[in-house]
Chain A
């Protein structure tokens, strides 16, 4: 096993623990926004899609990259916006 993969595994495992720590405390009321918000974060593969499209090594690669980019962007933009919409509803009635 090479060094980069090993470092990646370290990062992955430690980040899982961080995730478990911070998420166990989220109350059930907020489970849906938590899910859609973290879902938007999983759209981070937009980074990979950008690299594939930008490198544009061949027409096939560009189409694959473009498909990935569009879907990842929908995931990111839609995910964050819909989470915000929901959270505004949770907030508005605290004020009233």
Chain B
């Protein structure tokens, strides 16, 4: 058996380990092992590649591996759980960039040799470059939005849309020219530039609340970019891994869209969150939001029999997860049945709230989904909305003309009392007013979530 065959078999084994690893990620008990299995698969793929005869020197390889390894290690160790969406976006971007650069290098190698580009190799190279570049710049914009460097609002106008279409067509045209007519380096790099700008323009129009969809979609792209690099190098390990990640990202994307009752096209192009869509209706005069303070909140919670917490992005911003768990524990010690209800699109990436609650050691069995609480809502004494807005907005259920009509919500307005912890009465990212705030059985507690929950904790201790 030659070395090449051995390397190929090692790649096959890596692919198997990836599949088994991802499969095990589906259950909390097997997930850590699954992740490690996938990591071993990656180590195997790297080790096998180092045996390849194409590799002549190891100095730069060691430099790259050590530098990248240390940076990755540091980032993974120091990142706060609340900053996880940004982190995933950055890693996505780097993966996409790496795949794109592999395709660029292959193009330079072929064009430098002076041989005309074969059609199949050319198509793979163009696809790898284009997807890689879009993934990279798109992820960087997503990072900027999540980190607050770029405005989280949806920036949408007809100029951006026109330019996007122009760039997309231009990129495809350039790719066709380079593959079909002439191996032109200048046009190739124009394609790279156009793809990079396209990535920015694709993500810029998308508002903060739609970020879970974008992060999932970019995740899918980074997989497709890796698969394209696999076509470039004719390496099945890359094709299989890329396809797995591409599929995973697509599924998450569709789950997120379904949780908002919107199509992917609607999320990408409808510019939710400009604030222009749903004007605050004129009948503000007769609607009053009733404020509440810590002492009364503690009384209501302390003597309730069933309490449901509904966390949202405001919880992440305020890093209130530990305080919330403390409150939950205090209430449980008093015999209150406490649950945490997580909406699929709460936060800025799929499963965002679950990670934060897990960090705060909230037991698994206290977590639930909207379908677990909605049917029984009338029997729940208090729902406490912590920094969530659109996912508890009754308009989604009651107003067919609302932009969020049909989006499954957590129906807090049907609980006996609803306490909403929020910084202000400002509308959510969908730019919609929320009638929940003005219901007679709703109480508003204004302030930073961590601060507010902390004060309630102190009061509950006094009971």
Contact = CB atoms under 8 A, between A and B. Distances in A.
Interface string A78-96: 1111111111111111101
A10 B251 CA distance: 21
B367 interface: yes
Contacts of B242: 12, 42, 44
Interface residues of A, number: 86
B169 interface: no
Interface in A26-82: 26-58, 60-62, 64-82
Interface of B: 11, 14-15, 18-19, 21-23, 25-29, 31-32, 34-36, 38-39, 41-42, 45-46, 49-50, 52, 54-58, 60-61, 63-65, 67-69, 71-73, 75-77, 79, 81, 84, 87-88, 91-92, 94-95, 97-99, 101-102, 104-106, 108-109, 112, 118, 120, 123-124, 215-216, 219, 222-223, 225-227, 229-252, 255, 342, 344, 349-352, 354-355, 358-359, 361-364, 367, 369
B17 to A, nearest CB: 10
A16 B64 contact: no
A43 B42 contact: yes
A38 B76 contact: no
Contacts of B28: 29-30, 87, 90-91, 94
B84 A76 contact: no
B56 A47 contact: no
Contacts of A36: 84, 87-88, 91
Given A11-B240, A28-B342, A72 B245 contact: no
9 contacts: A8-B234, A17-B247, A25-B26, A41-B245, A42-B242, A43-B95, A78-B91, A82-B75, A84-B35
A11 B246 CA distance: 13
A20 B251 CA distance: 7
B36 A84 contact: yes
